[in-house]
Structure 1
């Protein structure tokens, strides 16, 4: 009886809670906030179906397990109710959505655990049992799909955020991200997904007796090649040897060892930070290598066209003649002759060259001091494998410990194989899976005696395990289309290919950019793709993360695509980076003989099965008159080649082509057959010598992306541009030509005008330039409802049109830094563009005033650099609650601004980066900066009127999180405040060309290497 009453009480609570959730909470409190939110709508529908389920449970005959499950369900529903109730304001929408997502995952797990058998005792009839079973099954399936969507979205957001965070930012690494940090964040998401899946799938394994504890650490700390690294550092600093070489087989960790040496503080100090890295690659030409070396060391471009390679080498040697200390790292050298070409450093013992290679003979040719990078010992192998496979797990399950040992031994001590295979088995707790994987690894020795093939066969296990439904294998194989060691950008290089071939973009509810970042994130989490960050030595703009594939993994992709497959049967034909000059002869289909009934014979050419062709950076000068029959070809990549002419019939047989990339070629015209490419989705003609585009451009009715940047000989666009109603991305930037110029009615017949852009209603990304246009066409911002990115380089633009209530509602980035005459933004701007995350007004020299921007709820970055006529910032910039998520505020060289807005407590609550460089009228540090307790970087460099840093109303102790302070060229400062020595997080102080005395407290911090001083 007591049990029945307890169940009745639980059911009563459930009924009341579900009823409340579906009526008051949904209808009144949150409907306006969550309207249109897919997660909310789906969860609301599922909860509404719970009500009859709960109602159908009888309050008699229940048992303890049933009651426990109902109690857990009640708790989860209560948690969901709280999420929906507390997310009552618009700006909490993002955090509320994240909490809602977590609750849906918990609900999913709960329904997975529901026992229909134990609930049967509480139901009165078999019909009720059957109905409940079906309902619970449907709800579980819906929640499972919701959980998958949640995991995908989490991976997309994490990967995109990591890659959109600068890896270097205006001389500062504060607020920036390293490749290791970015990979760590992405792998954390993957590990949490694996942990959730394995917990529900194999509870017995998870509850097993614990194995050894694993520390969270970087793979550098378990590399195992410490002796080689230390010996190489000693040779570079102390020996007379000009050349030092690291050699080993592919995947053994040569580059990793070289990176540890290159980044070592003692090496950087010894060479006075004059350390430079050049990746050589297998097919590189001498001129290209010399160009890379020159760019890295001097920042100057590649050689002039009329200069021979030998003269270029002599010129570079002359340019470097006065360098006292230099370290040049040449990574992945295949040909010893290239070392002769790269020998351009001064002949001093303080100038050294570090070489990594797979071929010991390369080092013998230069009499280099040779060091063989050792394979990892069994202990190091096991440790590195576990770091990859059990990352984030406190204990290795005992059932898997022996298998981990066997698998790590089968990887033969190769760090690359250990990391990649370790990530492939991460989260797998079924012993049978480990048994099968181990057998596949052992088969590699049986199937081949060649070392590289054995390595490929082992690594292939990781590619084979990629889930087919997500196209991850296709995404990985795409990296073989790029030249070796190419730094690849997602938006410019990968997304157009994946979008054009519809690997992403099929789901109308899923932004294709987010989908691309999600797929990339899964590949990164598997260690199949690396992230690369490299500070720019020349420009003052942020540098962002790029992705890269290890050369062994690139070779693996080529092996998968080509092994035991004749050319005519290959789906992908990739020869990027080779010095070909002409079209590959081996790609010409073989001819076969056939007999006609009359007895005469003819020759029939077989078709190619290829769907993708890549000849990027192959020194290609000529194309065949007509590309042979390739009816399935969808992607053709010919970028970065010295092509001048495309034959008239070249595109005749390519009616299924979807992606065509001809950027950075020398073509002047497109052939007449170009208009037949009616399925074309992506067309990139940037940096070509085109003088005009054919009117048949309008025939490309499926075109979604058109890039025409820096086609400096292109004088106009055909009016048929307005027919491209599906165009999502249009980029037409130019430094000299104005394709939008209005020079008279007659001369403009058949030419596109800016007004034609109003017809392109699908545009999401618009980047255009004009030297003559002074206005943005009326109705443009109203017509482009889907616009997310808008970048304008309008030299004559003086004002930006006031957006209407429905205009620019999707805009995330507005870049007007190419509009020097812009005087103002409309007053309504700060309340209209609610999704704006980045506003760049740098270089708007004519800007006189700003509207109130502090109410923009999602603004992360505001750039006002070189707004030289701006005299005053709005007082509202300092209101409490203003700029709720702003992180970066850069206002360097605002020379007429003398007063920083008074910041009230709660203003700019998340600001980490503040740049006030060259505020030449600033008399002292604004006292209200003390309210910026989250600030990590502060630049006051070139503030020539600044005489003291602290006063009665300001002390640096009020900035506890400050990491970097830039005081370069503050020439009237006489002394630094002693309080800087008490800042625990301060680690970099720039006082170059600053006469200020350093107090003892700061000297102490410098002496103990707590603060890096830049003089």
Structure 2
């Protein structure tokens, strides 16, 4: 019996031990999944960065990826051994599992790469044209031709363009820049110098334009050597330095001119500057003659504007008062648009003559009268104040319109409106007015965001105006201040102070400026500022707007608690901030921004801030107490979670109690809460939202996708780990807002096609869609849903890790009208043999970017047409065209043989970038015409050297013609495509 009992004990112990072994193996696999997710994110980020030729991966990242591959193989071997285990192998297997677990944990830890994944590399081709006004006048055209001829010649290295302020130097050189970026094998950089520009700053600005990093090197001599070496390594490099005020030592900065290493163009108001910098060609930009000045005036006034003879005569006299300066002419014409009364024209002429009699001396004063008249003509005091507010930003700064309007609201420069949206609309109306009268210049950045900008003369005029009033501004923005201004500068009459975008690193411990009337203090973007003494705010009782965004402060001084007049406290991206003192006394506070700070709990007394209209709590680990959100009954804008933060879900009852809410970004607990919240909206709904269910922890992919393609669409739904199929979800079937613009679905079960999401049929304006890791998805769309209007307006589509997906559009006659589609990204869909049928190409006329990656079975991008389609296409052309395609990426497609089965497919002239990696069976470059002339817009072809060498060519000269566009090719290893 004892023997039997012993055998039973051994059996029980073995079962128990193997049970613990299974649990350890499951734990190891869970950690391995985390590691693999990080590996996927890193590879996707590397793929994107490298595909733009902007960056190259760090050696440490490449080593990490290699180690991950090795560990994955080792874990698989251990898993196989565990499945086939013997009882006597327990200790050995346990050791292997523990060793693998430790290594996986270490790789997860080291995979954070706080220094980034990539290094900057030169990118001569990635340039964007400048928005430029039309050149007016024969002299401008002649000057442009002269300068371009000098650049093309080998004899002139430095060109100086000089002339009085407002005469059009920057406009002229911007046209030259746009010409140069289209020159073959030529790279060009534009740097605005402006006043008080140090050699150190100029080095940094030039280095930024050519993607060069100095690391932490502060020595100007060493930086100059590095910069000069980098410039010498560039082919046909042209550097434009705009608005030079003082002599620049090229040797000190590191701009090599000798031996035609670099051609330099400078613009300046002084001929002496041109001579001191040894300009070999000097071009004076002269004012417009009367006839051309009149043409510019009438064009700006409006070609459809008809003036009476009396008004026309007065207008011509008015133009003469502008002295042929384009800036003055354009500004004056803008201020007189729509004016028909001759008395108003006469009054304008009289004011201009009075002003010019008072200011006859300097060049600035000649145009100042025009600018001042346009300002005075605004009449509306609030609009004038909004204009003057723009002078608080640095010279030549692109001011984000949305941020600027938020300041207008904080400062009460926009009269109270019924809703925040009406205030924002009023703000845009004011900025449009200022653009229309040419006091502000408008533009749009690469990501679609709109901005305004002040001409430096207009900004000088604005600062001069506020300097002459009792409500004085102190503006030292973007001038590289390293220390706070001395106390004598902080006078009693100061109302607004802007020290933004400087290098202030500390504030003296005894600093306590006595500026009791100060309402606005902008210290944002002083990245080195890490502490503020407690006494600093003691004598600023009237402070209403305090902006410390993008500083390194770790804690706020206690004296902030006594700023009882404070309306806006802005701490956006204060990524080191951990402590905020009590806010209980700040009962007038209307805007509070904690985005991306390090606080872990809401500050003491925050529940007293019942006046809040705007609250951003987008903080990674913030605990939000129960009931606190419901206290802010006036809230119009609330962020508790967005693409770049991951705070916890919010309670539905608190959000639903906020009746004035217009914008909400946050995570809800489940589909039920989402449905209830959406169904509670009135017909108008919210003006902006990000509604999320499920945790998107590692979300570089979707975050980049939205930033790249969202273009201002601010109605987003993100769903993860939910059953959203109408047939399976029952009462909890997903209820989406009708006006949703961006939809992102990940890891949702029982979805075979988007038509399974019933509420999508009621959506009317979906523009962006991503579907990721939905295991049952067979088609994105099918014949029963592809004609729904919701899918016809799609602009951008991302498909990732859909392992059962066979085609994008399923069904025998599945053709969808993708007439709005611009961007299509397909990644890691191993069962796809083709994307879609050729019949669909006619609906892809607006496609601009196509990327297909990691689809192991992909044979053709466009598949073989069915018999019925072939009959229908018998009379159609054999060539399929993509008239707007600019970017094509084909990566990790081992079976890809052609772009289109049995047909020719080409892209028209817009094609700029082609990226092809690991497509060994593809023997021709897709979408290029069969002749040696590349598309005029082609910028680069990026590929493996071995693949490039193996290509087949229809024309013997084609490879030679394309070689300059593929300057850097090498043999890639497997880790590049993991």
TM-score by length of 1: 0.66
SS at 1:779 equivalent: helix
Alpha-carbon shift at residue 975 of structure 1 (Å): 6.4
Cα 1:615–1:624 change in 2 (3 A) is farther
Alpha-carbon shift at residue 249 of structure 1 (Å): 1.4
SS at 1:655 equivalent: coil
Alpha-carbon shift at residue 426 of structure 1 (Å): 0.8
Alpha-carbon shift at residue 877 of structure 1 (Å): 9.1
Alpha-carbon shift at residue 967 of structure 1 (Å): 3.1
Partner of 1:289: 202
Contact 1:1006 1:1013 in 2 (8 A): no
Alpha-carbon shift at residue 404 of structure 1 (Å): 3.0
SS at 2:583 equivalent: helix
Alpha-carbon shift at residue 293 of structure 1 (Å): 1.9
2:239 is the alignment partner of 1:328: yes
2:373 is the alignment partner of 1:461: yes
Cα 1:965–1:228 change in 2 (3 A) is closer
For 1:800 and 1:340, the matched residues in 2 are separated by: 67
For 1:848 and 1:235, the matched residues in 2 are separated by: 67
Alpha-carbon shift at residue 755 of structure 1 (Å): 6.3
For 1:365 and 1:929, the matched residues in 2 are separated by: 63
Contact 2:836 2:862 in 1 (8 A): no
2:808 is the alignment partner of 1:900: yes
Contact 2:583 2:604 in 1 (8 A): no
Partner of 2:162: 247
Partner of 1:617: 501
Contact 2:675 2:734 in 1 (8 A): no
Alpha-carbon shift at residue 420 of structure 1 (Å): 1.0
Partner of 2:465: 560
For 2:422 and 2:343, the matched residues in 1 are separated by: 38
Alpha-carbon shift at residue 962 of structure 1 (Å): 4.2
Partner of 1:279: 192
SS at 1:331 equivalent: strand
For 1:757 and 1:1003, the matched residues in 2 are separated by: 64
Contact 2:899 2:905 in 1 (8 A): no
Deviation per CA, 1:181-237, whole angstroms, max 9, x where unpaired?
xxxxxxxxxxxxxxxxxxxxxxxxxxxxxxxxxxxxx63355851111111112222
Contact 1:895 1:920 in 2 (8 A): yes
For 1:530 and 1:354, the matched residues in 2 are separated by: 24
Residue of structure 1 aligned with 2:885, choices 960, 964, 967: 964
For 1:253 and 1:291, the matched residues in 2 are separated by: 27
SS at 2:834 equivalent: coil
Contact 2:557 2:581 in 1 (8 A): no
Contact 1:253 1:415 in 2 (8 A): yes
For 2:545 and 2:436, the matched residues in 1 are separated by: 28
2:738 is the alignment partner of 1:834: yes
Contact 1:838 1:859 in 2 (8 A): no
Partner of 2:134: 219
For 1:753 and 1:767, the matched residues in 2 are separated by: 13
Cα 1:726–1:847 change in 2 (3 A) is farther
Q: What stretches of structure 1 of length at least 5 have no aligned partner?
A: 1-170, 181-217, 536-541, 590-606, 741-751
2:523 is the alignment partner of 1:638: yes
Instruction: Map 1:59-458; keep pairs closer than 5 Å.
Output: 219-220=134-135, 224-264=139-179, 267-270=180-183, 272=185, 274-298=187-211, 300=213, 303-304=215-216, 307-320=218-231, 322-337=233-248, 339-344=250-255, 349=260, 351-369=262-280, 370-393=282-305, 395=306, 397-448=308-359, 449-458=361-370
Partner of 2:560: 674
Alpha-carbon shift at residue 457 of structure 1 (Å): 1.6
2:450 is the alignment partner of 1:577: no
For 1:815 and 1:294, the matched residues in 2 are separated by: 41
Partner of 1:924: 834
2:507 is the alignment partner of 1:587: no
For 1:966 and 1:707, the matched residues in 2 are separated by: 38
Contact 2:479 2:502 in 1 (8 A): yes
For 1:489 and 1:905, the matched residues in 2 are separated by: 44
For 2:347 and 2:581, the matched residues in 1 are separated by: 59
Alpha-carbon shift at residue 615 of structure 1 (Å): 1.9
Cα 1:274–1:818 change in 2 (3 A) is farther
SS at 2:334 equivalent: helix
Alpha-carbon shift at residue 583 of structure 1 (Å): 1.9
Alpha-carbon shift at residue 376 of structure 1 (Å): 1.7
Alpha-carbon shift at residue 650 of structure 1 (Å): 2.7
Partner of 2:416: 506
Alpha-carbon shift at residue 488 of structure 1 (Å): 1.0
For 2:453 and 2:318, the matched residues in 1 are separated by: 26
Higher relative contact order (CA 8 A, sep 6+): 1
Cα 1:274–1:760 change in 2 (3 A) is farther
Partner of 1:814: 690
Alpha-carbon shift at residue 999 of structure 1 (Å): 10
Q: Which one is further off, 915-924 or 425-434?
A: 915-924
Residue of structure 2 aligned with 1:523, choices 424, 429, 434: 434
Contact 1:719 1:756 in 2 (8 A): no
SS at 1:987 equivalent: coil
Alpha-carbon shift at residue 698 of structure 1 (Å): 3.1
For 1:557 and 1:288, the matched residues in 2 are separated by: 26
Alpha-carbon shift at residue 652 of structure 1 (Å): 2.8
For 2:743 and 2:125, the matched residues in 1 are separated by: 20
For 2:233 and 2:689, the matched residues in 1 are separated by: 45
Partner of 2:42: none
Deviation per CA, 1:816-841, whole angstroms, max 9, x where unpaired?
69544863457468644234334466
SS at 1:967 equivalent: strand
Alpha-carbon shift at residue 634 of structure 1 (Å): 1.9
Q: What stretches of structure 2 of length at least 5 have no aligned partner?
A: 1-123, 700-718, 725-731, 942-964, 966-978
For 2:652 and 2:926, the matched residues in 1 are separated by: 60
Cα 1:573–1:278 change in 2 (3 A) is same
Contact 1:878 1:908 in 2 (8 A): no
Deviation per CA, 1:95-131, whole angstroms, max 9, x where unpaired?
xxxxxxxxxxxxxxxxxxxxxxxxxxxxxxxxxxxxx
For 2:795 and 2:721, the matched residues in 1 are separated by: 21
Alpha-carbon shift at residue 277 of structure 1 (Å): 1.8
Alpha-carbon shift at residue 673 of structure 1 (Å): 2.1
Q: Which one is further off, 420-429 or 290-299?
A: 290-299
Work out the number of aligned pairs and report it. Answer: 752
Partner of 1:483: 394
Contact 2:231 2:262 in 1 (8 A): no
Alpha-carbon shift at residue 913 of structure 1 (Å): 1.7
For 2:220 and 2:641, the matched residues in 1 are separated by: 38
Cα 1:434–1:771 change in 2 (3 A) is closer
Partner of 1:915: 824
Q: Which one is further off, 695-704 or 219-228?
A: 219-228
Residue of structure 2 aligned with 1:496, choices 394, 397, 406: 406
Contact 1:792 1:819 in 2 (8 A): no
Partner of 2:795: 888
For 2:784 and 2:191, the matched residues in 1 are separated by: 45
Alpha-carbon shift at residue 853 of structure 1 (Å): 5.9
For 1:287 and 1:387, the matched residues in 2 are separated by: 42
Q: Which one is further off, 875-884 or 673-682?
A: 875-884
For 1:332 and 1:719, the matched residues in 2 are separated by: 49
Partner of 1:211: none
Deviation per CA, 1:857-909, whole angstroms, max 9, x where unpaired?
45453242876978453659944343278352231655644421359899667
Alpha-carbon shift at residue 639 of structure 1 (Å): 1.8
Alpha-carbon shift at residue 774 of structure 1 (Å): 6.2
Partner of 1:188: none
Contact 2:741 2:767 in 1 (8 A): yes
Q: Which one is further off, 855-864 or 442-451?
A: 855-864
